[in-house]
């Protein structure tokens, strides 16, 4: 069912979906300069899926990239020929011992799920063995494809650019970490998780286009309304996908200021990780770093 290209989009979609969870902050730009002493790095908020029509990117990205020696991304997608990892991923996302998603859903939610898949022209049997995090990701992928809005995002764009320019690339997380994180989504709250996400899929295209417009304008209030509000009743997922990871990334970022002051990094993470009182930028400010919009 999942080709390696589909697998790459699979990760990108889930990161796209989670990258717009937004809290109380006002951003006028999507790129920041973070300084301490005489050293600095750049941090940019990304969209992990972008239609080709969204390029070129805002000029701040190009400025930060050109002034940086290396880039830092959330994770590295496995090579297209890494069939062993693809098999590992599919095994991780599937239930074992004959279990299936419907074992964890109410009759009403089962019917909603079946109706939704039917509307996409998909047989329920193709998905019933998979865990909720994988299912929601595949739904978003299918919706983006149906709306003809799929495309490589900011992260992939700069990964290719850095390879072409022979700039080094580092990563904040492993692909295994993200795989395990997605596999755990909705665990213990399967029925609520699926109902909430099925409801959000009803207006996917309209919400997606609205999010893209708000991202380009740095309109955090609109991002909050379109992406965070529908998820506010699931604090467990917000904690797992955002706040815990923000905290885990801080030591990695701090080492960028101690390892080599002459090397300037451009850190690219989902924009939601950069807004709110528990964001990466807020945590850095609390540690005495200066944070300014580029």
Give residue 33's pLDDT: 95
Check: CB of residue 153 under 8 Å from CB of residue 47.
yes
Among 20-24, 110-114, 140-144, 245-249, the minimum mean pLDDT is found in 20-24
Q: Residue 117: is its pLDDT beyond 70?
A: yes
Q: Decide: helix, strand or coil at residue 171.
A: strand
Give the whole-number percent of the chain exceeding pLDDT 70. Answer: 84
Among 90-94, 99-103, 226-230, 239-243, the least confident range: 226-230
Band of pLDDT at residue 228, cut at 50, 70 and 90? low
Q: Is the pLDDT of residue 103 over 90?
A: yes
52: helix, strand or coil: helix
- DSSP one-letter string for 224-268: IIIIIGGGTT-HHHHIIIIIHHHHHHHHHHHHTTTS-TTPPEEEE
pLDDT value for 207:
83
pLDDT for 11 equals: 41
Alpha-carbon distance 131 to 101, whole Å?
A: 6
Return the pLDDT at 34. Answer: 96
Predicted confidence (pLDDT) per residue in 137-157, tens digit: 888 888 888 888 888 888 989
* H helix or E strand, kind and range, residue 156: helix 154-165
In Å, what is the CA distance from 38 to each residue of 35, 42, 261, 289? Answer: 7, 14, 8, 11
> What are the boundaries of each domain within the chain?
4-293
Strands (E), 64-186: 70-73, 168-171
Rounded mean pLDDT of the chain? 83
Query: Measuring CA to CA, how many Å separate 41 from each of 65, 109, 164, 178?
Result: 11, 47, 21, 25
Query: Over the stretch 161-207, which tens digit does the pLDDT of each residue have?
Result: 999 999 999 999 998 898 899 999 999 999 999 998 898 888 888 88
- Strands 168-171, 290-293: pairing kind: unpaired
């Amino acid at each position: 069912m999942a080709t390696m290209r589909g697998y790459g989009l699979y990760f990108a979609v889930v990161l796209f979906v989670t990258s717009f969870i937004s809290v109380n902050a006002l951003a006028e730009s999507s790129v920041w300069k973070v300084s301490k002493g005489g050293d600095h790095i750049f941090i940019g908020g990304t969209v992990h899926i972008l239609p080709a029509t969204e390029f070129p990117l805002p000029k701040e990205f190009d400025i930060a990239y050109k002034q940086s020696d290396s880039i830092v991304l959330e994770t590295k997608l496995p090579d297209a020929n890494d069939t062993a990892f693809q098999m590992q991923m599919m095994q991780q996302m599937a239930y074992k011992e004959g279990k299936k998603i419907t074992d964890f859903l109410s009759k009403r939610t089962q019917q909603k799920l079946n109706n939704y898949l039917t509307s996409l022209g998909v047989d329920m049997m193709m998905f019933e063995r998979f865990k909720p995090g994988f299912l929601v990701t595949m739904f978003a992928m299918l919706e983006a494809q149906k709306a003809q809005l799929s495309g490589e995002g900011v992260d992939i764009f700069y990964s290719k650019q850095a390879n072409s320019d022979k700039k080094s690339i580092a990563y904040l997380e492993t692909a295994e970490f993200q795989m395990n994180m997605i596999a755990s989504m909705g665990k213990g709250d399967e029925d609520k998780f699926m109902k909430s996400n099925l409801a959000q899929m009803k207006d996917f295209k309209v919400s997606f286009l609205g999010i893209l417009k708000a991202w380009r304008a740095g309109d955090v209030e609109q991002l909050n309304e379109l992406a965070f509000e529908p998820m506010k009743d699931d604090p467990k997922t917000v904690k797992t996908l955002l706040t815990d990871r923000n905290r885990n990334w801080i030591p990695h970022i701090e080492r960028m200021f101690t390892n080599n002051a002459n090397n300037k990094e451009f850190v690219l993470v989902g924009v939601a990780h950069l807004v709110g009182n528990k964001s990466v930028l807020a945590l850095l400010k609390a540690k005495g770093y200066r944070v300014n919009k580029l």
